[in-house]
């Protein structure tokens, strides 16, 4: 017995459209892959290999973070070098001026220049880049110089002078101070004002701990200097002594004892700053070398990530063309099926 089956027109209309949504989704994915050059769904494309891809990307992100950190450190070091250069030049100029003068004229000449140099030193120690004080050690948020100047250091030396000798600097009685008394004063009460502990208690807000940073995957360096370093304290003492003890009122022999000590401090401080510049310069060179290595490592990682994630542009273009053709055919077939009607076949 033969039976007759029935196929509804609606089923014919919907048949071509049933896969249309999937083809449109595949077309969007293939188009995105062409635009990005990478698989749209890494998990689907790589399977278990996606773990390696993610690990490589994490390594690349770490290298990028190191490069950013190195750029900040390099800016801080460059600014520090400029400030150190100015401080060293100021100390060298004053020392040269003192050496060129006869001993009897040094005291009167050095007072005004030292007061100016003390202000320059305070300004240099207060140098900041990007809102961070470069000589603050790990305390980059506060000016290393407590009151923004070093006038308090000069005032402390003047007060110590009056306590020691019983009269203010520049007084007539200062002419009676002997060279030995002045030497003992400078090496005793004055030197005590510029020890590390006294300096931090009275003048400095800087941390003695300097900033240490990682500049590569396996290398760590010191990337700052502290205002508490001995060369800065030596220069501050030299300038304060020269500007706050009334050298011009002392006898020639006592002036000589005092200015000899000042010149020794200027030489000590200047040499110390040159040493700091050399240390920071070595760090700058190491950062430059580290950046070059990081760039090479980043290139290798990028190449490996591309090997895993990159799509074949030709293959993706072929898929786009094929899907576009299929979608167009689906639309055309649906249009033709919609024209089918039993009425058209009834005579």
Three-state secondary structure readout of 38-74: ECCCHHHHHHHHHHHHHHHHHHHHHHHHHHHHHHHHH
Q: Is the pLDDT of residue 63 over 80?
A: yes
Tens of pLDDT, residues 239-285:
999 999 999 899 999 999 999 999 999 999 999 999 999 999 999 99
Whether residue 220 is found in the same domain as residue 292: yes
Question: Are residues 297 and 317 both part of a single domain?
Answer: no
How many structural domains does the chain have? 2
**Domain extent at residue 323:** 313-342
In a shared domain, residues 145 and 281: yes
Q: What is the CATH number of the domain that holds 115?
A: 1.20.1330.10
- Least confident span in 144-153, 311-320, 336-345: 336-345
Q: Are residues 261 and 337 in the same domain?
A: no
Residue 227 domain-assigned (yes or no): yes
Structure tokens of 182?
Answer: 């002045």
Q: Determine, yes or no, domain membership for 46.
A: no
Q: Inform me whether the pLDDT recorded for 102 exceeds 90.
A: no
The answer to whether residue 36 sits within a structural domain is no
The answer to the question of residue 186 being in a domain is: yes
pLDDT averaged over every residue in the chain: 84
Count the neighbouring beta carbons within 10 Å of the beta carbon of residue 168.
14
Q: Which residues touch 259 (CB under 8 Å, ≥6 apart)?
A: 98, 103, 106, 107, 110, 242, 247
Residues 331 and 233 in one domain: no
Residue 4 counted as domain residue:
no
Residue range 170-222, pLDDT digits in tens: 999 999 999 999 999 999 999 999 999 999 999 999 999 999 999 998 899 99
Query: Does a structural domain hold residue 286?
Result: yes
User: Does the residue 264 lie in any domain?
Assistant: yes
Residues 254 and 335 in one domain: no
Angle at 242 between CA 237 and CA 245, to 5 degrees: 100
Strand 220-222, strand 212-214: pairing: antiparallel
Beta bridge partners of 222: 212
């Amino acid at each position: 017995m033969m039976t007759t089956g029935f196929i509804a027109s609606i089923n014919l209309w919907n048949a071509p459209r049933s896969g249309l949504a999937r083809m449109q989704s595949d077309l969007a994915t293939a188009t995105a892959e062409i635009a990005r050059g990478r698989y749209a769904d890494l998990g689907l494309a790589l399977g278990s290999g996606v773990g390696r891809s993610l690990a490589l990307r994490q390594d690349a992100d770490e290298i990028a973070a190191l490069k950013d950190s190195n750029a900040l450190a390099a800016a801080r070091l460059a600014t520090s070098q400029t400030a150190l250069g100015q401080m060293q030049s100021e100390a060298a100029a004053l020392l040269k001026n003192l050496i060129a003068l006869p001993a009897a004229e040094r005291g009167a000449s050095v007072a005004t220049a030292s007061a100016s140099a003390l202000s320059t030193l305070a300004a240099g120690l207060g140098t900041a880049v990007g809102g961070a004080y470069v000589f603050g050690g790990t305390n980059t948020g506060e000016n290393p110089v407590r009151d923004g100047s070093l006038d308090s250091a000069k005032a402390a030396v003047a007060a110590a002078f009056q306590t020691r000798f019983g009269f203010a600097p520049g007084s007539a009685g200062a002419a009676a101070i002997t060279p030995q008394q002045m030497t003992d004063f400078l090496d005793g009460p004055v030197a005590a004002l510029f020890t590390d502990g006294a300096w931090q208690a009275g003048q400095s807000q800087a941390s003695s701990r300097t900033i240490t940073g990682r500049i590569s995957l396996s290398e760590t360096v010191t990337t700052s200097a502290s205002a508490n370093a001995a060369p800065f304290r030596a220069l501050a003492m030299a300038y304060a002594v020269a500007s706050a003890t009334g050298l011009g009122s002392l006898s020639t022999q006592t002036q000589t004892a005092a200015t000899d000590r000042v010149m020794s401090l200027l030489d000590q401080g200047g040499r110390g700053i040159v040493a700091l510049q050399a240390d920071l310069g070595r760090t700058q060179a190491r950062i430059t070398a580290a950046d070059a290595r990081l760039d090479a490592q980043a290139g290798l990682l990028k190449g490996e990530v591309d090997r895993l994630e990159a799509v074949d542009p030709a293959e993706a273009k072929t898929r786009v063309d094929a899907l576009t053709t299929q979608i167009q055919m689906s639309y055309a077939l649906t249009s033709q099926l919609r024209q089918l009607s039993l009425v058209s076949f009834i005579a």
